[in-house]
Amino acid sequence: MSDPVRRVLIVGASAAGLRCASRLARLKPGWHITVVEAQDSFSYAACGLPYVLSGDIARADDLRRTADGALRDQAYFGAVKGVEVLAGQRVTALDMERHTAHLMPADKTIPWDELVLATGARARQLPGQPEHERVRAFHTWEDLAPLLTKLKRGQIEHVGVIGAGFVGCELAEAFGALWGAQVTVVEAAPAPLWAFLDEEIAVLVARTLAANGVSVLTSQPVESVVGQDDHVEVAVSGESIRVDVAVVAVGVEPVVELATAAGVRLGPTGAIAVDDQLRTSVPQVWAAGDCVEIKHAITGDPFRLPLGSLANRQGRTLANVMAGRQDRIPPAVGAAIVKLFDDQVAFAGLTRRQALAQGIEARSVWISGHDTVHYWPESKEMALHLVYEANSGRVLGVQAIGEGEVGKRVDVATQWMLQGATLVDLVHVEHTYAPPFAPALDPVAVAAMVGLNQEEGIEALPPLSSLRDVQLLDVRHPEEREARPAEAGSVLTMPLEQLRERRGELGSGPWVVACERGTRSAEAVRWLTQQGVHASYLGGGLRWRALARGETP
Ligand SMILES: Cc1cc2nc3c(=O)[nH]c(=O)nc-3n(C[C@H](O)[C@H](O)[C@H](O)COP(=O)(O)OP(=O)(O)OC[C@H]3O[C@@H](n4cnc5c(N)ncnc54)[C@H](O)[C@@H]3O)c2cc1C
């Protein structure tokens, strides 16, 4: 049977749209594939924009070149991919009966047999955000040049970054690291990256920012932003902060106007509802990328996950499906990573807060571990928080921060979470081990073991718990105690080695046992519990608390 030629119109020439177009053109070389893009610049890696600002990437143009140096412009897509890109043209109207789209400013109408909405997301604005040259978003290629120019001219000495999400954190580093600008981050939530992290890790993120000279104001919703001739006034908590430029980075919202006009159903998150083959509710209309919602692997609920990694994969899957191949988008857990000065911050799955809000009986463990064996000279520490469901041991989420290979650990946990793994599964994760690259027991496996211990009654307390009203049993050596005294209402010091011989001093408890990283204290708690002494221990150890306070470990 002959394959009828289809006219495919894709709206949006970014990750999802162009990935779909390019693959579809490979699979169906006879089809007419047109991509319409409202901006003049397209096919640039938006994810790289903060690193151009920071100077890590010297030439902005590299963001729109292939690894072989080819510029991904209209000529490239025409000649190499067989795809027509109409840039600087916005689809302003769709005729769903005639299957046509109207383009402006060309003022022309083009027909389609299949329509792909890859309209992405736009930067959210603050309520009442002024249109002002000094109050800017950082979302597109066009947003880069004005800020870079000002930085190069020395016109930005103090910048206000509103929002401490992904982009806000990346910008805080970019403005400070290369350009030496004073950076004030204003965040309405209690800590940075609050949508992805529980408090224990989030405070360490705040500390990294502070340690690198960024001033972070949390739990402080911005009351107003007023642009003046030569500065901006950002009002928070009744006070005004004077900055040269305010960059608003308060998240993104899906671009769904065309979808709505086409009668396409939106889901509960406000993004386009699609099935697992990226079909919308309207026949011959498909959607992919930041404008759609997908299924969460743990909750089963729709959620929005505006990530380039997913948009690219969805574009490819959509091309496969449109070409008649069997392919699906699986549910996701939202694995992501952020560079924060020397640290990596990575996370996936639910926070404990989110899991509890879902009615899941979530529990946590915290470990202070290393990315290689601890005796390797370049070994780096990491703080890792694992969230799991009580009793079943189902792994719900992971969050970690450190200078070493944090992302690798979150990637491993992510794959297991996607399979519905339990703590027992994580304990048995097979991983590559040699001293320069990993410990024999990898941090993810150790966290799972700690979780299993906790299910047996070796209870960990959150690292930031108040110790004011507890009896603390410090099982460290004297020199460790001197270097970092445990701040608690009442402290009995007894190195782990002396526990058995000094059992008589311990009565029946309850004790909170503490050591440097949580390892020795967990061991002590098991023994004490076996002796009938009530005891729990400080998860992550005193080191985690010290990091949270900004003390050098
Ligand atoms: C600063 C920054 C850093 C990021 N860092 C990361 C990262 O490190 N990791 C990660 O995974 N993700 C990151 N992202 C997110 C990632 O860039 C997006 O997830 C990805 O670009 C989404 O691709 P998309 O094709 O769905 O949509 P978009 O990139 O939003 O593109 C949609 C396109 O559609 C066009 N369009 C919309 N409506 C119309 C219309 N009516 N007519 C014509 N054209 C239209 C728009 O102009 C736009 O170009 C970052 C994003 C930004 C802004």
Say which CATH number the domain at 465 has: 3.40.250.10
| pLDDT number for residue 247 | 98
Atom of ligand 1 nearest to the CA of 90: 42
Residue 337 lies in a domain: no
Tracing tokens 């002494």 back to the chain, one arrives at 533
Residue range 482-498: mean pLDDT, rounded: 91
Distance 138 CA to ligand 1 centre (A): 12
Tell me the three-class secondary structure of 238-280, residue by residue.
CEEEEECEEEECCCEEECCHHHHHCCCCECCCCCEECCCCCEC
Residue range 438-459: mean pLDDT, rounded: 96
Distance 45 CA to ligand 1 centre (A): 9
Q: Which pair of structure tokens corresponds to residue 34?
A: 């047109």
Compute the distance between CA of residue 191 and CA of residue 498 in angstroms, rounded to an integer. 40
Q: What is the pLDDT confidence band of residue 496, given thresholds at 50, 70 and 90?
A: very high
pLDDT over threshold 70, residue 340 = yes
Tens digit of each residue's pLDDT (9 = 90 or more) over 39-88: 999 999 999 999 999 999 999 999 999 999 999 999 999 999 999 999 99
Residue 328 lies in a domain: no
Pocket lining: 243 vs ligand 1, CB cutoff 6 Å: no
CA distance to 74, 385, 459, per residue, from 525 (Å): 66, 20, 8
In our burial notation (b when 16+ CB lie closer than 10 A, e otherwise), range 241-265 reads bebbbbbbbbbbbbbbebbeebebe
Residue 238 shares a structural domain with residue 278: no
3-class DSSP assignment, residue 100 = strand
Distance 551 CA to ligand 1 centre (A): 39
Domain that residue 318 falls in: 7-121+253-322
Tens digit of each residue's pLDDT (9 = 90 or more) over 189-213: 999 999 999 999 999 999 999 999 9
Residue 14 shares a structural domain with residue 117: yes
Residue 116 shares a structural domain with residue 257: yes
Residue 41 shares a structural domain with residue 23: yes
Residue among 242, 42, 60, 249 nearest 148 (CA): 60
CA–chain centroid gap for 345, Å, is 8
Residue among 529, 119, 59 nearest 287 (CA): 119
Distance 7 CA to ligand 1 centre (A): 24
Residue 353 shares a structural domain with residue 412: yes
Q: What is the pLDDT confidence band of residue 179, given thresholds at 50, 70 and 90?
A: confident
Residue 330 lies in a domain: no
pLDDT over threshold 80, residue 437 = yes
| pLDDT number for residue 489 | 84
In this structure, the number of other CB atoms found within 10 A of the CB of residue 163 comes to: 24
| pLDDT number for residue 549 | 86
**Taking a C-beta distance cutoff of 8 angstroms, is the pair 318, 187 a contact?**
no
| pLDDT number for residue 243 | 97
Tell me the three-class secondary structure of 180-195, residue by residue.
CCEEEEECCCCCCCCC
Please identify, among 418, 440, 455, the residue that sits at the C-terminal boundary of a domain. 455
Burial of 326 (0-12, 13-18, 19+ CB in 10 A): exposed
Burial of 4 (0-12, 13-18, 19+ CB in 10 A): exposed
The DSSP call for residue 8 is E
Compute the distance between CA of residue 509 and CA of residue 490 in angstroms, rounded to an integer. 13
Say which CATH number the domain at 444 has: 3.30.390.30
pLDDT over threshold 70, residue 477 = yes
Residue nearest to atom 16 of ligand 1 (CA): 308
3-class DSSP assignment, residue 395 = strand
Distance 37 CA to ligand 1 centre (A): 12
The DSSP call for residue 296 is B
Can you give the pTM of this predicted structure? 0.95
Q: Tell me whether the omega of the peptide bond preceding residue 463 falls within 30 degrees of 0, making it cis.
A: no
Residue in 37, 39, 47 to alter for ligand 1 test, most ligand atoms within 8 A of Cβ: 47
Q: Which H helix or E strand runs over 149?
A: helix 141-152
Mean pLDDT of all residues belonging to the chain: 96
The DSSP call for residue 14 is S
Residue in 19, 119, 140, 247 to alter for ligand 1 test, most ligand atoms within 8 A of Cβ: 119
Tens digit of each residue's pLDDT (9 = 90 or more) over 225-248: 999 999 999 999 989 999 999 999
Sheet containing 471-474, strands listed edge to edge, beginning at the edge strand earlier in sequence: 460-461, 535-538, 511-514, 471-474, 490-493
| pLDDT number for residue 487 | 84
Residue 130 lies in a domain: no
| pLDDT number for residue 2 | 64
Residue range 245-273: mean pLDDT, rounded: 97
Residue 229 shares a structural domain with residue 261: no
pLDDT over threshold 90, residue 501 = yes
Tens digit of each residue's pLDDT (9 = 90 or more) over 368-427: 999 999 999 999 999 999 999 999 999 999 999 999 999 999 999 999 999 999 999 999
Please identify, among 420, 455, 490, the residue that sits at the C-terminal boundary of a domain. 455
Compute the distance between CA of residue 403 and CA of residue 380 in angstroms, rounded to an integer. 6
Listed in sequence order, the residues at least 6 apart from 280 whose beta carbon sits closer than 8 Å to its beta carbon are: 117, 259, 264, 265, 272, 273, 274, 286, 287
**Taking a C-beta distance cutoff of 8 angstroms, is the pair 363, 451 a contact?**
yes
Residue in 9, 23, 35, 37 to alter for ligand 1 test, most ligand atoms within 8 A of Cβ: 37
Q: How many domains does the chain have?
A: 4
**Taking a C-beta distance cutoff of 8 angstroms, is the pair 152, 146 a contact?**
no
Residue range 437-465: mean pLDDT, rounded: 96
Residue range 480-502: mean pLDDT, rounded: 92
3-class DSSP assignment, residue 62 = helix
Compute the distance between CA of residue 388 and CA of residue 336 in angstroms, rounded to an integer. 19
pLDDT over threshold 90, residue 326 = yes
Residue 464 shares a structural domain with residue 451: no
Q: Which pair of structure tokens corresponds to residue 55?
A: 């100077």
Distance 290 CA to ligand 1 centre (A): 7
CA–chain centroid gap for 97, Å, is 41
Please identify, among 189, 217, 248, the residue that sits at the C-terminal boundary of a domain. 248
In this structure, the number of other CB atoms found within 10 A of the CB of residue 99 comes to: 17
Residue 203 shares a structural domain with residue 281: no
Residue 334 lies in a domain: no
Residue 108 lies in a domain: yes
Residue range 332-341: mean pLDDT, rounded: 96
Compute the distance between CA of residue 115 and CA of residue 123 in angstroms, rounded to an integer. 24
Residue range 166-180: mean pLDDT, rounded: 92
User: Angle at the Cα of 129 (from 128 to 135), degrees rounded to 5?
Assistant: 165
Residue 11 shares a structural domain with residue 117: yes
List residues bridging with 368 in a β-sheet.
383
Pocket lining: 15 vs ligand 1, CB cutoff 6 Å: yes
Pocket lining: 421 vs ligand 1, CB cutoff 6 Å: no
pLDDT over threshold 60, residue 1 = no
Q: Which H helix or E strand runs over 166?
A: helix 166-177
Residue range 345-353: mean pLDDT, rounded: 98
Q: What is the pLDDT confidence band of residue 224, given thresholds at 50, 70 and 90?
A: very high
Q: What is the pLDDT confidence band of residue 550, given thresholds at 50, 70 and 90?
A: confident
Strands 460-461 and 535-538: parallel
The CA radius of gyration of the chain, in Å to the nearest whole number, is 26
| pLDDT number for residue 522 | 97
Say which CATH number the domain at 190 has: 3.50.50.60
Tens digit of each residue's pLDDT (9 = 90 or more) over 266-318: 999 999 999 999 999 999 999 999 999 999 999 999 999 999 999 999 999 99
Q: What is the pLDDT confidence band of residue 553, given thresholds at 50, 70 and 90?
A: low
Sheet containing 381-389, strands listed edge to edge, beginning at the edge strand earlier in sequence: 336-340, 343-349, 395-402, 381-389, 362-370
